[in-house]
C-alpha cells in the first residue's frame, strides 16, 4: 500500500466583508412615532412601518412591541446600528403619542432613559429633551402628514423613551455635556455609517488615488455633510474630489504628503477644527477634546477681558465659547482657521499642496475662511 498525498487547495484571498450600515436613534424614534400615531388614529399598527429619511431612503422597521390604550398609543423599535460599535445598538426606542388641546402643536417630552439638556452650547435649549433638531423635524413631519391625511389637528405630545438609556448614557459623553437622565436622540441622515478606522482611512486613500488618476488638482476633505455642502457652494467640485475625511484628518494629510495634489480644502464645524488647530489628527469625540484653556489664550489679556476668559475656561462646549465671544472684537473662528491650517501644513511637511480652511456653524453658515 502506498501513501497517497492529500491534495490541498490554496486558501483564497478573502476580501473583508463590507461593513453593514444601521439606523440612527432618530430614525427609530420617527418610525415608532409613525406607528403609534397611526394606531391612535386608525386602531391598527403598521408592522413593519416605513419612513422616508432626509435623503430619500425608505427603510422599514419591524415593531418590537405595541400598546393601544385609553387616549394613548405606544410603539417600540429595536435599534440596529449595523456594524457600528454604537452603545445604543440593540436598545429599544419607544414613542408614546397622546392628543393635546387644540392649538398646542407638537410637543416633545423625555421619557425614561432619554436625557434632558441642562447646559448651554448644544443644539437644543436648556430644559428641553435631548432630542436633536433633525429627529424632531422627522417626527414632526410624519405627525403632520398623518394628521393631514385624516383631517385632524397636529396637536400631540411625543414622548420618547429608551429603557436602560440612563445606564447606557454613562458610556457616552452625555454626563460631561450636561445631558442628565439618559441618552440623546441623534441623527442627521437617519443612517449610521459603520465606524471602522482601517476601513474609513482606506476609503480616504482610495479617494485620493481616484482624484489623482483623474487629473484633479483640487480636493475637499470635510468633517461632515454640512460643512461639505457649504464648501461645495463655493467650489462646486466634481463628486470624486469630495473625500469623506470625517474625523480622520491625519489619515487624509499623511497620505496626501506622499501623494500630493495642488490644492486641498479642509471644511469642518467649529468644534472639529478647534481640535485640528490644537494638533489633533483624530477628531472623534472619544479620542480628542476641545481644550478651553487653548481657546481662552486667544483673548487679549486685559482687565476688561478677564471675565470673558473665565467664562471660556468654564464653558461646556465649543459652541458655548462661540456664543460667549460673539459680541467681542475677537475673530475666534478666523484664529482657529489659521491655526488649523498651520497644523495641516506642518503635517504635510513641505509637500507642494496649497491648503485652505473653511469653518462652519451647525447650519452650514461659513464663520471663517483662510488660505
In angstroms, what CA-CA distances link 300 with 293, 304, 328, 329?
A: 13, 9, 11, 10
Query: Has residue 16 got a pLDDT over 50?
Result: yes
Q: Phi-psi bin for 143: left (phi > 0), alpha (psi -120 to 50), beta?
A: alpha
* pLDDT score, position 333: 95
Model pTM score:
0.68
What is the CB neighbour count within 10 angstroms for residue 272?
A: 29
CA-wise closest residue to 36 among 143, 144, 178 = 143
What is the CB neighbour count within 10 angstroms for residue 328?
A: 13
Cis-peptide into 48, omega within 30 deg? yes
Query: CA 195 to CA 28: how far, in whole Å?
Result: 19
Are 137 and 196 contacting, i.e. CB atoms less than 8 angstroms apart? no
* pLDDT score, position 154: 96
In angstroms, what CA-CA distances link 369 with 237, 357, 366?
A: 17, 6, 8
* pLDDT score, position 199: 60
Kindly state the average pLDDT of the residues 59-73: 96
* pLDDT score, position 120: 78
Which three cell numbers mark 245? Answer: 475625511
Residue 82: pLDDT band with limits 50, 70, 90: confident
Kindly state the average pLDDT of the residues 271-289: 90
Kindly state the average pLDDT of the residues 181-210: 80
Query: Has residue 3 got a pLDDT over 70?
Result: no
CA-only gyration radius of the chain, Å: 24
- In degrees, to the nearest 5, what angle opens at C-alpha 91 toward C-alphas 85 and 94? 140
Beta strands 242-243; 218-222: pairing state: parallel
3-state secondary structure (DSSP) of residue 330: coil
Residue 366: pLDDT band with limits 50, 70, 90: very high
Length of the chain: 371
Query: Has residue 4 got a pLDDT over 70?
Result: no
Query: CA 136 to CA 108: how far, in whole Å?
Result: 8
Residue with cell 463628486: 239
* pLDDT score, position 175: 84
Query: Has residue 65 got a pLDDT over 70?
Result: yes
CA-wise closest residue to 20 among 191, 187, 185 = 191
Residue with cell 409613525: 34
Which three cell numbers mark 129? Answer: 429633551
Query: Has residue 364 got a pLDDT over 80?
Result: yes
Average model confidence (pLDDT) across the chain: 89
Which three cell numbers mark 130? Answer: 435631548
* pLDDT score, position 2: 37
Kindly state the average pLDDT of the residues 50-71: 94
Helix%, strand%, coil% for the chain, nearest 5:
35, 20, 45
Query: CA 212 to CA 263: how far, in whole Å?
Result: 12
Query: Has residue 280 got a pLDDT over 70?
Result: yes
- Percent pLDDT > 90 in the chain is 66
Count CA atoms within 13 Å of residue 164 on its CB side: 10
**pLDDT tens per residue, range 332-355:** 999 999 999 999 999 999 999 999
Phi, psi of 160 (to 5 degrees): -105, 130
Residue with cell 468654564: 314
Burial class (CB in 10 A: 0-12, 13-18, 19+), 7: exposed
Amino acid at each position: 500500500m502506498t501513501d497517497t498525498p492529500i491534495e490541498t487547495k490554496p486558501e483564497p484571498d478573502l476580501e473583508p466583508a463590507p461593513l453593514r450600515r444601521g439606523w440612527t436613534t432618530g430614525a427609530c424614534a420617527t418610525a415608532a412615532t409613525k406607528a403609534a400615531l397611526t394606531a391612535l388614529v386608525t386602531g391598527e399598527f403598521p408592522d413593519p412601518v416605513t419612513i422616508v429619511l432626509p435623503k430619500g431612503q425608505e427603510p422599514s422597521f419591524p415593531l418590537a412591541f405595541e400598546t393601544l390604550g385609553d387616549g394613548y398609543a405606544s410603539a417600540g423599535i429595536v435599534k440596529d446600528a449595523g456594524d457600528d460599535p454604537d452603545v445604543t445598538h440593540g436598545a429599544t426606542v419607544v414613542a408614546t403619542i397622546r392628543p393635546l388641546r387644540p392649538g398646542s402643536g407638537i410637543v416633545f417630552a423625555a421619557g425614561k432613559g432619554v436625557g434632558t439638556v441642562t447646559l448651554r452650547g448644544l443644539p437644543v435649549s436648556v430644559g428641553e429633551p435631548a432630542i436633536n433638531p433633525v429627529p424632531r423635524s422627522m417626527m414632526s413631519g410624519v405627525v403632520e402628514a398623518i394628521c393631514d391625511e385624516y383631517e385632524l389637528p397636529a396637536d400631540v405630545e411625543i414622548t420618547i423613551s429608551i429603557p436602560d438609556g440612563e445606564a447606557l448614557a454613562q458610556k457616552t459623553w452625555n454626563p460631561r455635556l450636561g445631558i442628565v437622565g439618559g441618552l440623546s436622540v441623534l441623527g442627521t441622515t437617519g443612517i449610521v455609517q459603520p465606524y471602522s478606522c482601517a476601513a474609513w482611512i482606506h476609503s480616504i486613500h482610495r479617494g485620493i488615488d481616484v482624484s489623482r488618476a483623474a487629473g484633479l488638482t483640487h480636493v475637499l476633505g470635510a468633517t461632515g455633510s454640512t460643512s461639505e455642502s457649504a464648501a461645495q457652494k463655493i467650489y462646486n467640485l466634481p463628486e470624486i474630489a469630495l473625500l469623506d475625511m470625517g474625523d480622520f484628518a491625519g489619515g487624509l494629510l499623511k497620505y496626501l504628503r506622499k501623494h500630493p495634489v495642488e490644492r486641498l480644502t479642509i471644511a469642518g464645524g467649529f468644534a472639529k477644527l478647534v481640535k485640528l488647530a490644537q494638533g489633533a489628527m483624530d477628531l472623534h469625540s472619544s479620542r480628542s477634546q476641545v481644550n478651553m484653556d487653548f481657546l481662552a489664550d486667544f483673548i487679549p489679556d486685559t482687565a476688561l477681558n478677564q471675565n470673558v476668559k473665565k467664562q471660556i475656561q468654564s464653558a461646556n462646549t465649543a459652541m458655548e465659547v462661540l456664543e460667549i465671544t460673539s459680541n467681542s472684537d475677537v475673530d475666534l473662528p478666523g484664529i482657529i482657521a489659521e491655526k488649523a491650517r498651520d497644523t495641516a501644513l506642518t503635517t504635510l511637511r513641505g509637500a507642494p499642496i496649497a491648503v485652505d480652511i473653511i469653518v462652519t456653524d451647525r447650519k452650514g453658515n461659513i464663520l471663517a475662511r483662510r488660505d
